[in-house]
Amino acid sequence: MASSGIKPDQVLDCRGLLCPLPVIKTNKAIKSLAVGQVLEMLATDPGSKPDMLAWSRQTGHELLEVEEQDGVYRFLIRRKV
């Protein structure tokens, strides 16, 4: 899949975790970053894809990229607020 080449400032591994943990951990991690910095989150829960879209819409943090490879979802999120 095409990758934007953006380098994340922090990586959060949520592989093997189910809802609500990926969203809760992502929300905690994004708060530890400065506005403008980028978080990479890895997850295996297929629900995490629509959930991260909804979470970014609700919180205003920007979902830059979503990729899926071999059952692993990779999200790039920029802290906006």
Partner 1 sequence: MQAVAPGVAEVPGADVEPAAGRRRRLAMVASKGTLDMAYPPLILATTASAMGWEVGIFFTFYGLDILHRRRLSRLKVAPVGNPAMPPPLRGLPLKVPDILGALPGMPSVATAIMKRWMRQSNMPAIEELLEMARESGVKLFACATTMGVMGIRQEDLIDGAECAGATTFLDFASGADVTLFI
Q: Does 72 bind partner 1 (CB under 8 A)?
A: no
Q: Does 35 bind partner 1 (CB under 8 A)?
A: no
* Size of interface with partner 1, in residues (CB under 8 A): 24
Pick from 35, 57, 67, 72: which binds partner 1 (CB under 8 A)?
Answer: 57
Q: Is the dihedral of CA 39, 11, 41, 17 positive or negative?
A: negative
* Closest to 12 measured CA to CA, from 39, 44, 50: 39
8 Å CB contact between 75 and 11: no
Chain residues binding partner 1 by CB under 8 A are 16-21, 23-24, 26-28, 46-47, 49-50, 53-55, 57-59, 63, 66, 68
